[in-house]
Structure 1
Amino acid sequence: MGEHHPDGELIEAHLEDGVIRVPLAKYDDFNTRICRPVGLSDDEIGRVVDSAKESLGRMYDLKNIWDLARYLLPQPPVPERFRRRMLALGSGDPTRAICSTLIAEAFQKIGYPILPSIKAGPHLEEILHIRHHSLFVPRDFDLSPYFSVVKPTIVYGFDHKTLNWHSPANANLAD
């Protein structure tokens, strides 16, 4: 897919196809959120985009999915402070990615925070600790205080009266 789509494109990590370009229209019917970084210069934006473009052709990192599952749902339960050390951090292969890893890696290259852990320094000042880019999940960008969240379904007009509610169980909602 070397050609450019006139209505815009996204770069995504697809399980079967790896990191590819897709038309923005692919997500027209999805409930999406756009997480926009705040305060980037044109140069920084260019570097983030270039980083994503450099990832085109990488394969999907299925091992990273398993590592994230172990981190998020540890068996047996392990104190949170030890969970990250248990991870293999993905395949370790720089030619593999998942979407959140791809995005986190691009932003970390320009020193932009996503969802750092905050710890007190020796003089009780806040010190930010950056997570390894393979430990991010899509939700982290949504929760980040450094990204503005846009919900296109709201921005482009939402009318709750057009929703098709199931009648018997929700009859009292219509009142």
Structure 2
Amino acid sequence: SHAALYIGRLHDVHNPFSRRRIQSWYDGQPDVQLIIESELGRGTVVRPLHAYERDHIRLSRPRELNWHDAQKVIDYAVSQLGTDYNVRQIVDLFRFLMPWAILPRRWRSTLFNYRPGAMTKTVCSTMIAEAFAQIQYPILPLVKKVSETGEIRLFRRNPKLCVPSDFDYSPYFDVIKYPYIDFSHSKMRYRLLPWSGKPGGLTAEENGFYLEESDLDPSRFE
């Protein structure tokens, strides 16, 4: 899986230094919606949002994030442009998630070991997690009672352990769904959806996975 950070259009970025840095990495039109992502073979780059127009994506929106903090998140992501992709971290994360008992010691994860030059590399979800860490915004923190008085404290998760699905699972991010036909503004409007039509609308591959209206017997549900 993969994750990218939406930053809006060029004029949505308030920091003039960040705008100039984006322009040095992207020479498209200023009104194009942009994302920043870390990708294998490309490193951390800025790309137009429409690069994913043919992909199925999930939109995760941080709750109650104010404008000033959103700009700080964007500024950090922009500062990472040009950073190489950390393939070693992906391998180490995979080994970290594997049961240690079945791995020889020499194959075990070195995810938390210090390696010179490692800070100049990143992966998609780590870069985004670090960006939100700049404003202490939680993703999947550890919540603990740390005293006999019942004091609650949050501990930020190591960004190296963050994976794209964490933004889906986080209770602090809303998953935004985008229905092709929205009937949420009117009760019972789902009854008006265009189920009926001429038969033969399905391809051979789709047939069986989906049903024609003529295949359904409404009386079964009454």
The normalised TM-score by structure 2 is 0.64
2:80 maps to which residue? 55
Q: For 2:130 and 2:194, locate their aligned partners in 1 and report how far apart those are by CA, in whole Å.
A: 38
Structure 1 residue 167 corresponds to structure 2 residue 207: yes
Q: For 1:172 and 1:28, locate their aligned partners in 2 and report how far apart those are by CA, in whole Å.
A: 27
Contact 1:89 1:135 in 2 (8 A): no
1:117 maps to which residue? 142
Q: How does 1:51-130 map to 2 (within 5 A)?
A: 51-76=76-101, 87-89=110-112, 93-122=118-147, 123-130=149-156
Spell out, residue by residue over 1:89-134, the C-alpha distance to the aligned partner (whole angstroms, 9 max, x if none). Answer: 4866221111100000000011110111222322334322211111
The letter for the 2-side match of 1:30 is: D
Q: For 2:194 and 2:167, locate their aligned partners in 1 and report how far apart those are by CA, in whole Å.
A: 27
**Runs (5+) with no aligned partner, structure 1:** 79-85
| Secondary structure class of the residue paired with 1:49 | helix
Q: For 2:82 and 2:49, locate their aligned partners in 1 and report how far apart those are by CA, in whole Å.
A: 19
Contact 2:38 2:85 in 1 (8 A): yes
The letter for the 1-side match of 2:144 is: K
How high is the sequence identity, in percent, across the aligned residues? Answer: 35
| Secondary structure class of the residue paired with 1:167 | coil
Structure 1 residue 20 corresponds to structure 2 residue 45: yes
2:71 maps to which residue? 46
Spell out, residue by residue over 1:119-166, the C-alpha distance to the aligned partner (whole angstroms, 9 max, x if none). Answer: 2322334322211111100111111111111133x2x43789688664
Contact 1:32 1:151 in 2 (8 A): no
1:30 maps to which residue? 55
2:27 maps to which residue? 3
Q: For 1:72 and 1:104, locate their aligned partners in 2 and report how far apart those are by CA, in whole Å.
A: 19
Which is richer in helix?
1
The normalised TM-score by structure 1 is 0.80
Give the 3 Å change call, closer, same or farther, for CA 16–34 of structure 1 in structure 2: same
Give the 3 Å change call, closer, same or farther, for CA 163–116 of structure 1 in structure 2: farther
Give the 3 Å change call, closer, same or farther, for CA 163–95 of structure 1 in structure 2: farther
The letter for the 2-side match of 1:37 is: P
Contact 2:26 2:47 in 1 (8 A): no
Quick one: which of 134, 137, 146 aligns to 2:163? 137
| Secondary structure class of the residue paired with 1:11 | strand
**Runs (5+) with no aligned partner, structure 2:** 1-24, 104-108, 183-192, 196-200, 217-222
The letter for the 1-side match of 2:164 is: P
**TM-fit CA distance, 1:75:** 4.0
- How many residues in Structure 1 have an aligned counterpart in Structure 2? 167
Q: Which has the higher contact order (CA 8 A, sep 6+)?
A: 1
Moved more, 96-105 or 26-35: 26-35
Give the 3 Å change call, closer, same or farther, for CA 160–35 of structure 1 in structure 2: farther
Moved more, 93-102 or 116-125: 116-125
